[in-house]
Structures are given as structure tokens and as C-alpha cells.
Structure 1
Amino acid sequence: MLEAFYATERGSLEDATINGGFDLHPELVWIDLIAPSQEEQQWVIDAYEQNLPTLKSLEDISSSARFYRDDDGILHISTYFLTKNKNYQVDNESDEHDHMLATVQTVAFILNKQRLLTLRGEKLVSFRAFRARARRNDYEVDYKDPVWILLGLFEAKLDELADILEDIHKDLEKYSTEVLNNHHREQVLDLDDMVTRLAQQEDMLGKAQLCLIDLRRILSFLSRPRALGSHIYDGEIREMSEDVRSLVEHTAFLFQKVRFLLDTTSGFINSEQSDTIRRFSILPSLLTAPMLVTSLYGMNTTVLPFAHGDFSFTAVSIIIVASFILPTAYFRWKKWI
């Protein structure tokens, strides 16, 4: 899929209809390629004489080559975007990605003085949010300058990460209530399932932290002198850098909360297992006295009381039951069972 946008007189972005390479006019300021076909990639190459990386090559880029300016002055950036998995399913054998709450996608940005080219493998929420914001242009940003499109997409990425972290925080608060409520934990909660849910939240936090650290490195690169060719973007970059710093700190707090809940849940699981083992170890002790009485009266001896008589069976049965009930009552009084 190939989408293109041009800037209006008031600086907002509007969609351009693309039916072929002949529609890629010079006034287009943003070309967005979403899992493009070879034909669509060739349209861009022919129209703007700009080579494009393949989607496979984006996954193999080393961290040291994720942002640079080439000999022609064109800025190349490859960065991670985190998106929630709407197709998430607990049990699904069809696709391994459906088992994850969120996935990380690599997006390539190619920026020159006239336009911005973006290449990604699938649709992303942050891109859709930015397009809606750029159409309204509430802050009267001049998107005729493609640098503002680049920074706007990074800001939308930051907003998406903030929303994901907020959702994680809400989920952890709910999990805390479930784990720490004794009645709910003992009667309703499946502790093994809780461990799985917490592990999934920790996995998503790790991916969010990866995206934040990656964005912090990019913003640090863009803040260098002559990185973008002007100082008018410095204020926006500094503001986003502060937001990234605060989100990294919040992510560290959420990591601590997840680990606390994991440790607490694991402790309750160990406690339940210990209680089960203790109950099984106490059972032989409770049966020792009845078995002893049964063994003695099974020896066909005349010395024992109630060994003979019309009510001997009843009397011996009462002794056996009493030898079981009395230790059981004592153990309960001691709260051993």
C-alpha cells in the first residue's frame, strides 16, 4: 500500500490520490509505504530517484547504523514502534505473534529537504493518530517542512507509548487487588494464570523500554548541531527528550511493581504447595492411633478390654473413632491443619 500527502496553504496535510507512479508529484511532502509491492517501490524510485530498503533489511540493521546522514545530505532513520496486538489470543496455534500482547515494528524514515519517505510492514496506531492531528492542524504547524512531519510522527509514537504504559499501570493495579485480597485469592484466583499475565506485562514493558531508549538515542542525534539544518526544531526536540526521560523513569517503577507482584504470587504458590504437603504428611499421623488400636484388637487375645462380649464390636469401633477424632481436634486447635 502506498499513501501520499501534500501540504495545504494553511500547512495541514491532505491525502493525495495515487493510481500510479505518474501521480507522485514533486509537491508531495510525505510518501508512506505500508508493506509495499515491488511495483509501488519502483514508482517511488523512478519518481524521486531514491533507493528504498527492503522490509527484511530493516530487521537486520545494527544499532550503530540506525540513524545517519549520507553523502547527499539525506537523513536515514530506522526506529522501533510498539503496537498492541488486537488479535491477541491465549491459545492459538496459527500464529506465534497472536500469543503476544504487543509487537515491535521497525519503521524506516528517509528525509530530504523536499519530503519524507516512510516504510513499514503494517499499519500503526501512532501513524493514524498523527494523520488525524495533521489534518486538523490545531497548533498551526507548517507541514510544508517535512522535518515537522518527522517530529510529529515521533511525538505520536511517544503518545502511544504513554498510553500503553498507562494501560499497564491500570492492569497492575487490578492485579494487585486480586493477589492481595485473601478471599479472592483463595476462592477465585488462579495463581498460575496470574503469573502468566504478569510475565506478559513484563514482556510488554521490556518492549516499551526498548522503544523509549531507541527514541532517546534518535532525539540525542537530532539535537546535534546541523543535524536538521536549523535551530527552530530544538525546542520541540528538548520537550520530547524530557517526556522520554519521564516515561523511562515510569517504566522502571512499573518493572518494580511487576516484580513485586511476581514475587508475591510465587510466594503464595509456594505457601499453597507447602500446605498441601503438610496436610499429606499429617494424615499418616492421624491414622496412626486408629491403626494401632485395630492391630491390637486383631490379635485374637483375651487380655484386652472389650475383646469379648455382645457389645465388643461397638466398643472397639468407638475407641477407633475416638483415637482418630481426638488427634484431629488437637491438630485443629493448634492450627496445624
Structure 2
Amino acid sequence: MITTYARSGGRVVEQPFVIGDPLPEGTVWIDLLRPSEAERAAVGALTGCDLPTREEMKEIEASSQLYVEGEAVYLTTPVIARADTPHPEQGELTFVLTPRHMITLRYTEPRSVATFAARTGRQPELLASAEDALLGILDAVIDRVADVLELIGGRIDTLSTRIFDESLDARPAGRAKKPAELQDVLRGIGRAGDLTHKVRDSLAGLDRLVAFLTSVAAGRLSKEQKVALKTLTRDLRSLNEHAGFLAHEANFLLDATLGLINIEQNNIIKIFSVVAVAFLPPTLIASAYGMNFEFMPELHWQYGYPMAIALMVLSGLLPLWYFKRRGWL
């Protein structure tokens, strides 16, 4: 699907593009979403640039993601889509900057693109030129990354509350945490860590993209555009630091959860050990009086059986009393 955005009469006109038609007058931004080979070739012919294929967009070499061909600058970076769902996606977003147009090529639907499209309707000056359009959509992409980091931070705070406050304070004493609860917490930490990893990968790509754009397109940018580019660089630096902090927090929560699991398991093993030790003396007494010797002093004694029961109960209670006094229970 191809969508064009053109400035006309002080406003932005958004309309689908049909192969074979000329580009609308004043077109600044051309967005290709999951284009077919024919659509990709048609836009390439109209703009005079060779748009990369999906396989080429996925290549990880810097020379395949950031390069210049003629007057066109090609910039590819990983982006995140559906970050607020249980199954976030990561895909590639390619920007092609030509003297007259800014082209976006994507096979995923990051919210930042839709946000920028809506923003151009309110602020037509965002499409004053191809360079302005590129800087505007980069700003929207970085803003979305910041929103995702806030989402991760909220999830980590919630998990921290569940791990520490609920597991230690709100739970009745001696009650073990259910395996399903621990598994749910671990899954939450895993999802937060996975999303943080995707964000850091996206930030690394954006950082390389902005640095490359600063070096190769400086002569094409106005003073105001250079200031905006520097602002994007500072934003990326601060977001990288925050993403590293969240990754550290996720690892800390993982270690804490595994530690609590070990504590719960140790408590269970301790209970079994105490029960085994408490029943050892009664078992010894019962074994002694269960022997089949012919001559046993208490065998025909009237109070032999009650005495044996009393000895077994007393020998079982004494270890429990001792463990309690020592603070082991």
C-alpha cells in the first residue's frame, strides 16, 4: 500500500497512490507499507532511486543500512511495533531522503508513523521540505521509544511490588508462594527484559542513523534543522542511559525472584528435615518394643503399652521444643 502526503493550500493532503498515476503536486512524503514488487518499482521510477527489498533491509552490515547513492540518502533502523501487547514485534524502517521527497519503506506498523501522519495534519509545516519531514518522523520515532521505556518502567515497578511487598508483608506467615504465582512473575520479568532488549537494539540503530545523517547531510540542512538534529542526538543519549538502567533493574528482579524461590524451597526442605528428626526418637522406641525376643521386661507389664506411647510422644515433642528455643522454627 502506498500513501502520499502533499502540501496544498497551507494544509496536508493524504491520499492513496495508484500505480500508473503521477505523484500529486506538492508531494513531500511517500509511505510504502508492505509494498509489492510492482509498487516498489513504480515509486523508485517516479523518484529516481532504487528502493531496497525486504531482504536488503534486514541486512545487519552498517554499509547496507546507511549509505548514499547519487543524491539519495538511505537510512534503515529497527523499530518496535505493538509494544503495549503481550507480543511486541521488531521490524525494519527505511528512510530514503531525496532532494524533493522523503520516502518511508516498512513491513510493520509502528505507532510512531501513524502519530507523525496525524501530526502533519495539525502542523503542515512539518512537511515544508523532505529534510523537515525526515527530522519530524525521526522525532516521532524517538518519542515512541521514550513511551515504551515508560511502559517498561511501569511494568518493572509493578513486578517489584509483587515480588517484595506482597511476597513478604501481605502474605500470612508460613504460607508458601504458589508455583503459578512465581511462574507468572518470571514471565513478566522475561517480557520486560525482552522488550528492553528490543528497545536498546532500536536505540542503537537510531544512534547510528543520526550520526550518519549528521556526517553526510550536514550541507543540506538549515541552521534550525541542525539544531533539531542535535536535540535528537541528546535525546538518544539520555534514552540509552535510561534503557541501560531498566535492563539492570530487570536483571535485579530476576535474581531477587530466583532468590525467593530458593528461600521457599529451603523452607519446605527444612520442614521435612524437622519432621524427620522429630519422628526419629519415637521410631527408635517403637522399633525397640517391636522386637520379637522371648524375654522382655515390659512384655507382660500392665502399663507397658501406655508407657511406650508416652515415651514416643515425649521423645517427639522434645526435639520440636529444642528447635523452637534455638529459633530454627
Structure 2 CA distance for partners of 1:119 and 1:190, relative to 1, 3 Å:
same
- Counterpart contact for 1:17–1:23, Cα < 8 Å: no
Q: How far apart in 1 are the matches of 2:327 and 2:187? A: 32
Q: How does 1:86-165 map to 2 (within 5 A)?
A: 88=86, 101-137=87-123, 141-165=125-149
Q: Which amino acid aligns with 1:6?
A: A
- Counterpart contact for 1:3–1:33, Cα < 8 Å: yes
SS at structure 2 position matched to 1:224: helix
Match of 1:211 in 2: 202
Q: How far apart in 2 are the matches of 1:219 and 1:27? A: 26
**How far has the Cα of 1:61 moved from its partner?**
4.2
Q: How far apart in 1 are the matches of 2:68 and 2:321? A: 81
Match of 2:279 in 1: 287
The reply on whether 1:200 has 2:199 as its aligned counterpart is no
Q: Which amino acid aligns with 2:150?
A: E
Q: How far apart in 1 are the matches of 2:294 and 2:131? A: 103
Match of 1:53 in 2: 52
Structure 2 CA distance for partners of 1:191 and 1:17, relative to 1, 3 Å:
closer
Aligned-pair identity (%)? 27
Residue segments in structure 2 that go unaligned for 5+ positions in a row? none
**How far has the Cα of 1:168 moved from its partner?**
0.9
Structure 2 CA distance for partners of 1:301 and 1:257, relative to 1, 3 Å:
farther
Q: How far apart in 2 are the matches of 1:261 and 1:267? A: 10
SS at structure 1 position matched to 2:21: helix
**How far has the Cα of 1:250 moved from its partner?**
1.1
The one of 167, 192, 197 equivalent to 2:151 is 167
What's the RMSD between the two structures over aligned residues? Answer: 2.3
Match of 1:6 in 2: 6
SS at structure 1 position matched to 2:108: coil
Q: How does 1:59-74 map to 2 (within 5 A)?
A: 59-70=58-69, 72-74=70-72
**How far has the Cα of 1:145 moved from its partner?**
0.4
Q: How far apart in 2 are the matches of 1:84 and 1:273? A: 37
Q: Which amino acid aligns with 1:209?
A: R
Q: Which amino acid aligns with 2:95?
A: F
Match of 1:18 in 2: 17
Residue segments in structure 1 that go unaligned for 5+ positions in a row? 89-100
209-218 or 158-167: which moved more?
A: 209-218
Q: How far apart in 2 are the matches of 1:33 and 1:103? A: 18
Structure 2 CA distance for partners of 1:25 and 1:33, relative to 1, 3 Å:
same
SS at structure 2 position matched to 1:32: strand
Q: How far apart in 1 are the matches of 2:7 and 2:294? A: 108
Q: How far apart in 2 are the matches of 1:6 and 1:283? A: 80
- Counterpart contact for 2:90–2:198, Cα < 8 Å: yes
Higher helix fraction (1 or 2): 2
Q: How does 1:164-313 map to 2 (within 5 A)?
A: 164-181=148-165, 182-184=168-170, 186-187=176-177, 190-224=181-215, 226-227=217-218, 229-232=220-223, 233-299=225-291, 300=293, 304=297, 306-313=298-305
SS at structure 2 position matched to 1:122: coil
Q: How far apart in 2 are the matches of 1:239 and 1:87? A: 30
SS at structure 2 position matched to 1:308: coil
What is the TM-score with the length of structure 2 in the denominator? 0.88
- Counterpart contact for 2:57–2:65, Cα < 8 Å: no
The one of 299, 321, 326 equivalent to 1:334 is 326
Q: How far apart in 2 are the matches of 1:196 and 1:152? A: 36
**How far has the Cα of 1:242 moved from its partner?**
1.0
321-330 or 167-176: which moved more?
A: 321-330
What is the TM-score with the length of structure 1 in the denominator? 0.86
- Counterpart contact for 1:109–1:118, Cα < 8 Å: yes
Match of 1:322 in 2: 314
Aligned length: 320
**How far has the Cα of 1:209 moved from its partner?**
1.2
Q: Deviations over 1:167-199 (max 9, x none)?
A: 111111111111112044655682233223212
